[in-house]
Amino acid sequence: MEYSTLLYHTEGRIATITLNRPHRMNAISLDMPGELAHAVEQANRDDSVHVIILTGSGKGFCSGYDLIDFAQSDGEQPGSQLGGDDKESGAWDPMKDFYGMHQNTRDFTSLWRSYKPTIARVHGPAVAGGSDIALCCDLVIMADEAVIGYPPARVWGCPTTAMWVYRLGAERAKRMLLTGDLIGGQEAVEIGLVLESVPLEQLDDRVNTMAARMAGVPKNQLMMQKLMINQAYENMGLNNTQMFATLFDGITRHSPEGVWFKQRAEEVGFKQAVMERDSGAPIAEGVSKSLSPFSTK
Protein backbone atom coordinates (compact mmCIF):
# COMPACT_ATOMS: atom_id res chain seq x y z
CA MET A 1 0.00 0.00 0.00
CA GLU A 2 1.16 3.53 -0.75
CA TYR A 3 0.55 5.86 2.17
CA SER A 4 -0.32 9.54 1.83
CA THR A 5 0.05 10.54 5.50
CA LEU A 6 2.93 8.41 6.77
CA LEU A 7 6.10 6.59 5.84
CA TYR A 8 6.85 2.93 6.53
CA HIS A 9 10.16 1.14 6.41
CA THR A 10 11.91 -1.78 8.02
CA GLU A 11 15.49 -2.40 8.99
CA GLY A 12 16.40 -5.76 10.42
CA ARG A 13 13.82 -6.70 13.06
CA ILE A 14 12.46 -3.15 13.52
CA ALA A 15 9.67 -1.44 11.57
CA THR A 16 9.43 2.35 11.75
CA ILE A 17 6.19 4.23 11.09
CA THR A 18 6.66 7.97 10.58
CA LEU A 19 3.68 10.34 10.61
CA ASN A 20 4.42 12.48 7.58
CA ARG A 21 2.52 15.74 7.35
CA PRO A 22 5.30 18.06 8.55
CA HIS A 23 3.71 21.14 6.94
CA ARG A 24 0.85 20.69 9.45
CA MET A 25 2.96 19.40 12.37
CA ASN A 26 1.75 15.90 11.43
CA ALA A 27 -1.82 16.89 12.27
CA ILE A 28 -4.42 14.13 11.93
CA SER A 29 -6.31 14.15 8.64
CA LEU A 30 -9.27 11.98 7.68
CA ASP A 31 -6.93 9.42 6.12
CA MET A 32 -4.27 9.19 8.81
CA PRO A 33 -5.99 6.94 11.42
CA GLY A 34 -6.80 4.22 8.86
CA GLU A 35 -3.35 4.39 7.31
CA LEU A 36 -1.76 4.11 10.76
CA ALA A 37 -3.79 1.00 11.56
CA HIS A 38 -2.88 -0.49 8.16
CA ALA A 39 0.83 0.13 8.77
CA VAL A 40 0.63 -1.51 12.20
CA GLU A 41 -1.08 -4.50 10.61
CA GLN A 42 1.60 -4.59 7.90
CA ALA A 43 4.29 -4.80 10.60
CA ASN A 44 2.36 -7.50 12.46
CA ARG A 45 2.08 -9.58 9.30
CA ASP A 46 5.80 -9.24 8.52
CA ASP A 47 7.47 -12.28 10.06
CA SER A 48 10.83 -10.50 10.16
CA VAL A 49 9.58 -7.63 12.36
CA HIS A 50 9.77 -7.90 16.14
CA VAL A 51 9.32 -4.26 17.25
CA ILE A 52 7.55 -1.16 15.91
CA ILE A 53 8.80 2.42 16.40
CA LEU A 54 6.36 5.28 15.83
CA THR A 55 7.61 8.82 15.28
CA GLY A 56 6.86 12.00 13.35
CA SER A 57 8.62 13.90 10.60
CA GLY A 58 9.75 17.50 10.95
CA LYS A 59 9.61 19.35 14.26
CA GLY A 60 6.63 17.63 15.87
CA PHE A 61 5.34 14.20 16.76
CA CYS A 62 1.66 15.06 16.17
CA SER A 63 -0.27 18.25 16.87
CA GLY A 64 -3.67 16.56 17.08
CA TYR A 65 -6.55 16.78 14.65
CA ASP A 66 -5.97 19.23 11.80
CA LEU A 67 -7.94 22.23 13.05
CA ILE A 68 -7.63 23.99 9.71
CA ASP A 69 -9.86 21.26 8.29
CA PHE A 70 -11.90 20.32 11.35
CA ALA A 71 -12.45 23.66 13.14
CA GLN A 72 -11.48 26.61 10.97
CA SER A 73 -13.37 25.51 7.85
CA ASP A 74 -17.01 26.54 7.66
CA GLY A 75 -19.75 24.12 8.67
CA GLU A 76 -19.83 20.76 10.41
CA GLN A 77 -16.47 19.11 10.77
CA PRO A 78 -15.51 16.43 8.20
CA GLY A 79 -16.53 12.93 9.22
CA SER A 80 -19.25 14.15 11.60
CA GLN A 81 -22.18 13.51 9.28
CA LEU A 82 -25.53 15.17 9.65
CA GLY A 83 -28.25 12.88 10.87
CA GLY A 84 -31.69 11.80 9.78
CA ASP A 85 -33.11 11.36 6.33
CA ASP A 86 -32.94 15.11 5.74
CA LYS A 87 -29.23 15.78 5.56
CA GLU A 88 -29.90 19.45 4.95
CA SER A 89 -31.57 19.83 8.33
CA GLY A 90 -28.35 20.61 10.13
CA ALA A 91 -29.17 18.15 12.91
CA TRP A 92 -26.23 16.47 14.61
CA ASP A 93 -26.55 12.71 14.87
CA PRO A 94 -24.45 11.60 17.87
CA MET A 95 -24.44 7.97 16.72
CA LYS A 96 -23.04 8.82 13.29
CA ASP A 97 -20.46 10.99 15.02
CA PHE A 98 -19.66 8.07 17.34
CA TYR A 99 -19.36 5.67 14.40
CA GLY A 100 -16.65 7.76 12.76
CA MET A 101 -14.78 8.74 15.91
CA HIS A 102 -14.89 5.25 17.36
CA GLN A 103 -13.28 3.93 14.20
CA ASN A 104 -10.49 6.47 14.71
CA THR A 105 -10.17 5.32 18.32
CA ARG A 106 -9.87 1.72 17.17
CA ASP A 107 -7.29 2.74 14.58
CA PHE A 108 -5.19 4.56 17.20
CA THR A 109 -5.43 1.63 19.61
CA SER A 110 -4.11 -0.70 16.91
CA LEU A 111 -0.79 0.31 18.50
CA TRP A 112 -2.04 -0.99 21.84
CA ARG A 113 -3.52 -4.18 20.35
CA SER A 114 -0.48 -4.84 18.15
CA TYR A 115 0.99 -8.25 18.86
CA LYS A 116 4.43 -6.69 18.52
CA PRO A 117 5.62 -4.06 21.00
CA THR A 118 5.31 -0.41 20.00
CA ILE A 119 7.57 2.46 21.05
CA ALA A 120 6.62 6.12 20.57
CA ARG A 121 9.61 8.35 19.83
CA VAL A 122 8.36 11.82 20.82
CA HIS A 123 10.80 14.53 19.74
CA GLY A 124 8.34 17.41 19.56
CA PRO A 125 4.75 18.26 20.55
CA ALA A 126 2.40 15.32 21.10
CA VAL A 127 -0.80 17.17 21.88
CA ALA A 128 -4.54 16.57 21.74
CA GLY A 129 -5.17 13.64 19.36
CA GLY A 130 -1.40 13.34 19.03
CA SER A 131 -1.20 12.42 22.70
CA ASP A 132 -3.92 9.81 22.10
CA ILE A 133 -1.68 8.22 19.47
CA ALA A 134 1.51 8.36 21.55
CA LEU A 135 -0.11 6.99 24.70
CA CYS A 136 -1.50 3.98 22.81
CA CYS A 137 2.06 2.78 22.34
CA ASP A 138 3.48 0.33 24.86
CA LEU A 139 6.41 2.61 25.71
CA VAL A 140 6.82 6.35 25.24
CA ILE A 141 10.30 7.88 25.19
CA MET A 142 10.36 11.67 24.96
CA ALA A 143 12.88 14.39 24.39
CA ASP A 144 13.20 16.74 27.36
CA GLU A 145 12.29 19.57 25.00
CA ALA A 146 9.04 17.93 23.82
CA VAL A 147 5.63 18.55 25.37
CA ILE A 148 2.57 16.36 25.81
CA GLY A 149 -0.97 17.14 26.89
CA TYR A 150 -4.62 17.37 25.90
CA PRO A 151 -5.63 21.07 25.68
CA PRO A 152 -9.04 20.28 24.08
CA ALA A 153 -10.06 18.97 27.51
CA ARG A 154 -10.71 22.68 28.20
CA VAL A 155 -13.31 22.77 25.42
CA TRP A 156 -14.02 20.82 22.19
CA GLY A 157 -12.56 17.46 23.11
CA CYS A 158 -12.36 14.37 25.31
CA PRO A 159 -9.47 11.91 24.82
CA THR A 160 -11.21 9.01 23.14
CA THR A 161 -8.54 6.41 23.89
CA ALA A 162 -8.77 7.23 27.64
CA MET A 163 -5.15 6.25 28.16
CA TRP A 164 -4.51 9.09 30.61
CA VAL A 165 -6.36 7.40 33.47
CA TYR A 166 -4.86 3.99 32.76
CA ARG A 167 -1.33 5.40 32.77
CA LEU A 168 -1.68 7.92 35.61
CA GLY A 169 -4.49 6.83 37.90
CA ALA A 170 -7.49 8.98 38.77
CA GLU A 171 -5.96 11.98 40.55
CA ARG A 172 -3.12 12.71 38.15
CA ALA A 173 -5.36 12.09 35.14
CA LYS A 174 -7.75 14.67 36.58
CA ARG A 175 -4.85 17.08 37.12
CA MET A 176 -4.08 16.88 33.40
CA LEU A 177 -7.59 16.74 31.95
CA LEU A 178 -9.23 19.31 34.24
CA THR A 179 -6.59 21.86 33.20
CA GLY A 180 -5.62 20.87 29.66
CA ASP A 181 -2.02 21.72 30.56
CA LEU A 182 1.01 20.74 28.51
CA ILE A 183 3.97 19.27 30.34
CA GLY A 184 7.57 18.60 29.31
CA GLY A 185 9.35 15.28 29.08
CA GLN A 186 10.89 15.29 32.54
CA GLU A 187 7.60 16.08 34.28
CA ALA A 188 5.87 13.42 32.19
CA VAL A 189 8.37 10.89 33.56
CA GLU A 190 7.97 12.13 37.14
CA ILE A 191 4.20 11.60 37.13
CA GLY A 192 4.48 8.22 35.40
CA LEU A 193 2.95 9.19 32.06
CA VAL A 194 5.92 8.14 29.92
CA LEU A 195 8.83 5.79 30.43
CA GLU A 196 11.85 8.05 29.86
CA SER A 197 12.89 11.53 28.79
CA VAL A 198 16.33 12.42 27.49
CA PRO A 199 17.93 15.40 25.76
CA LEU A 200 16.91 15.56 22.11
CA GLU A 201 20.38 14.69 20.86
CA GLN A 202 20.23 11.41 22.83
CA LEU A 203 16.70 10.42 21.81
CA ASP A 204 17.53 8.29 18.78
CA ASP A 205 20.21 6.34 20.65
CA ARG A 206 17.86 5.64 23.57
CA VAL A 207 14.92 4.58 21.39
CA ASN A 208 17.09 2.42 19.15
CA THR A 209 18.79 0.77 22.13
CA MET A 210 15.41 -0.11 23.68
CA ALA A 211 14.05 -1.39 20.37
CA ALA A 212 17.15 -3.49 19.73
CA ARG A 213 16.95 -5.00 23.21
CA MET A 214 13.35 -6.10 22.58
CA ALA A 215 14.10 -7.21 19.03
CA GLY A 216 16.36 -9.97 20.35
CA VAL A 217 13.40 -11.63 22.10
CA PRO A 218 11.36 -14.25 20.20
CA LYS A 219 8.12 -12.87 18.77
CA ASN A 220 6.02 -15.41 20.65
CA GLN A 221 7.51 -14.31 23.98
CA LEU A 222 6.90 -10.64 23.18
CA MET A 223 3.32 -11.43 22.20
CA MET A 224 2.55 -13.45 25.33
CA GLN A 225 3.95 -10.86 27.74
CA LYS A 226 2.08 -8.03 26.03
CA LEU A 227 -1.24 -9.90 25.86
CA MET A 228 -0.97 -10.82 29.54
CA ILE A 229 -0.34 -7.21 30.63
CA ASN A 230 -2.97 -5.72 28.33
CA GLN A 231 -5.58 -8.16 29.54
CA ALA A 232 -5.35 -6.67 33.01
CA TYR A 233 -6.44 -3.32 31.55
CA GLU A 234 -9.19 -4.94 29.51
CA ASN A 235 -10.48 -6.48 32.74
CA MET A 236 -10.59 -2.97 34.24
CA GLY A 237 -12.98 -1.91 31.48
CA LEU A 238 -10.75 -0.18 28.94
CA ASN A 239 -13.15 -0.82 26.05
CA ASN A 240 -16.17 0.52 27.98
CA THR A 241 -14.22 3.60 29.06
CA GLN A 242 -13.23 4.30 25.46
CA MET A 243 -16.85 3.98 24.36
CA PHE A 244 -17.99 6.64 26.85
CA ALA A 245 -15.00 8.86 26.08
CA THR A 246 -15.77 8.75 22.36
CA LEU A 247 -19.43 9.63 22.97
CA PHE A 248 -18.39 12.49 25.26
CA ASP A 249 -15.94 13.74 22.64
CA GLY A 250 -18.81 14.23 20.20
CA ILE A 251 -20.82 16.03 22.85
CA THR A 252 -17.96 18.40 23.68
CA ARG A 253 -17.90 19.53 20.06
CA HIS A 254 -21.64 20.28 20.12
CA SER A 255 -22.08 21.75 23.60
CA PRO A 256 -22.76 25.52 23.77
CA GLU A 257 -19.07 26.13 24.46
CA GLY A 258 -18.06 23.69 21.74
CA VAL A 259 -20.23 25.56 19.24
CA TRP A 260 -18.63 28.82 20.43
CA PHE A 261 -15.13 27.42 19.82
CA LYS A 262 -16.05 26.27 16.31
CA GLN A 263 -17.55 29.66 15.51
CA ARG A 264 -14.50 31.49 16.88
CA ALA A 265 -12.18 29.30 14.81
CA GLU A 266 -14.19 30.13 11.70
CA GLU A 267 -14.20 33.85 12.54
CA VAL A 268 -10.62 34.47 13.67
CA GLY A 269 -8.73 31.28 12.76
CA PHE A 270 -8.00 28.25 14.89
CA LYS A 271 -4.74 29.63 16.35
CA GLN A 272 -6.51 32.62 17.90
CA ALA A 273 -9.40 30.45 19.10
CA VAL A 274 -6.97 28.01 20.73
CA MET A 275 -5.05 30.87 22.36
CA GLU A 276 -8.28 32.22 23.85
CA ARG A 277 -9.34 28.75 25.02
CA ASP A 278 -6.00 27.99 26.66
CA SER A 279 -5.31 31.44 28.16
CA GLY A 280 -6.80 30.61 31.56
CA ALA A 281 -9.57 33.19 31.24
CA PRO A 282 -13.17 31.93 31.60
CA ILE A 283 -14.11 30.12 28.42
CA ALA A 284 -17.07 31.46 26.44
CA GLU A 285 -18.42 33.24 29.51
CA GLY A 286 -22.18 33.67 29.24
CA VAL A 287 -22.52 31.31 26.29
CA SER A 288 -24.05 28.43 28.26
CA LYS A 289 -26.77 30.63 29.69
CA SER A 290 -27.64 32.30 26.42
CA LEU A 291 -27.82 29.02 24.47
CA SER A 292 -29.19 26.71 27.17
CA PRO A 293 -32.83 25.58 26.87
CA PHE A 294 -32.99 25.80 30.68
CA SER A 295 -31.95 29.46 30.85
CA THR A 296 -34.45 31.97 32.18
CA LYS A 297 -35.22 35.30 30.59
Rounded average pLDDT per 10-residue block, the chain, 297 residues:
96 98 97 98 98 98 95 72 51 91 98 98 98 98 98 98 97 98 98 98 98 98 98 97 97 95 95 95 78 48
CA dist 285 and 291 (Å) reads 11
- Other beta carbons within 10 Å of 294: 6
What is the per-residue pLDDT for 79?
Answer: 55
What is the per-residue pLDDT for 221?
Answer: 98
256 phi/psi in degrees, rounded to 5: -55, -45
DSSP secondary structure code for residue 196 in this structure: E
Going by CATH, does the domain composed of 6-254 fall within 3.90.226.10? yes
Q: What is the pLDDT of residues 120-132, one digit of tens each?
A: 999 999 999 999 9
166 phi/psi in degrees, rounded to 5: -75, -25
Question: What are the C-alpha distances in Å from 29 to residues 10, 18, 63, 136, 239?
Answer: 24, 14, 11, 18, 24
**pTM of this structure:** 0.93
